[in-house]
Structure 1
Amino acid sequence: MVRFTDGGGDDTAAAASDLAPVIDLFPASSASSASSASPSSLVDTRSEDEACEAAENQLLRKLRSRSLSVAEARAVLRDHEISEHHVEELIEKFERLSYLDDTVLAEHLVYMGAERKGQGRGAIAQTLSKRGIARDLAEEVLSTLGDDEAERALEFARSRASRMSSLENDVALRRLHGQLARRGFGGHVAMTAARTALDELRRASSGVRFS
């Protein structure tokens, strides 16, 4: 039992020592730490959200001017240094909205190469690869070209043969074969088309000098 007296300092000290210690439930250091972490966390979150928004807007602008493959779209987004998780989220969103579709793009590139540009399978395959189209998808779409490679090569050769009317046969053949090869036609197909086109030109025009 604690004794209190009117003037005894020792008794007062003894009583104080028997009291339970006071515990600070909110230490100053912890409070200041929590308050300082919160604004910083908000700033970081806001900065990443802004970066994602900027990346998305830039991708939209690019898609308004030309179609992009998924690989090309990823490259655009990664330029903004956003996390890979956010990159994939945006890719999935754009695919869901049909803004990105590698199958549609591959079919368009094959059509443009074959029908509009008169290119051979090799050149079209190279274009698909450069645009980031997966090999299995590229092969699947290229299989739709059918067996008209020789016809397209001959059509191109005929369109160029008349420009070589002043050349010796060997020179004309070599140049025409080179042009066909650069357009992606295989060696045998290119040579056959070049010879056929030049033979037709020789029979049709007596002004061509062939040796």
Structure 2
Amino acid sequence: MVRGTYAVRAFETLAEFSEMLGALRTNEALVYGIPTGPAAGLVVTKSELAAMPEAKREKHIARSNDHFEWSDGPGIFMIDIDPPKDGPALSKERAIEIVRKVAPEMNQMPMLWYPSSSSFIYTDDGRELRGLRGQRLYVPVANARKIPDLADALWERAWAAGHGSIIVSKAGQILKRTFFDKCVYQPSRLDFAAGASTGQGIIQKRGKPELV
């Protein structure tokens, strides 16, 4: 992201959040932290911000953790479930089952399920080019500052339940993986939750976010 605008949005219910999520445009993304400055303004690069005179920096931020923080109020714990690079995706039912088994506290929690922007791509005559790949679960939490701790706990429980794996990178690094991505829990991290920008003859049919 080189330049854009930001605005803090508040929702009274998960249904309101779901409505916004399903209506995102392809040039919009979500951030689950909140800005440390004004609630709305412009996003620029760190270098551009540093070059600005102090008097002109008002309502300008960079998309970095210096300018975003976790709220001490309610927030959204997003669980990013991606398939292995060369493996099949989990079904919606299996993904939800795994999360609730490793974290039974979530059995009674309302959650939203939504396929990723890379899922359910078709030709306009109905031929499927790609089915379900990535998927997200959106879980409301009372204190967003605990989101990194929740992610750590879910990671440890996933490994304890046998859902961990080791991948060796091309450079020989040992990479630990499980059914969800733990690298996204930074307050400035973008969630590209909008649909794909498709070309002529290509459509996407993700449906709407589902309450589960």
TM-score bracket, normalised by the shorter chain, equals under 0.3
Structure with the larger RCO, 1 or 2 (CA within 8 Å, 6+ apart): 2
Of Structure 1 and Structure 2, the greater strand share is in 2
When normalised by structure 1's length, the TM-score is 0.20
Of Structure 1 and Structure 2, the greater helix share is in 1
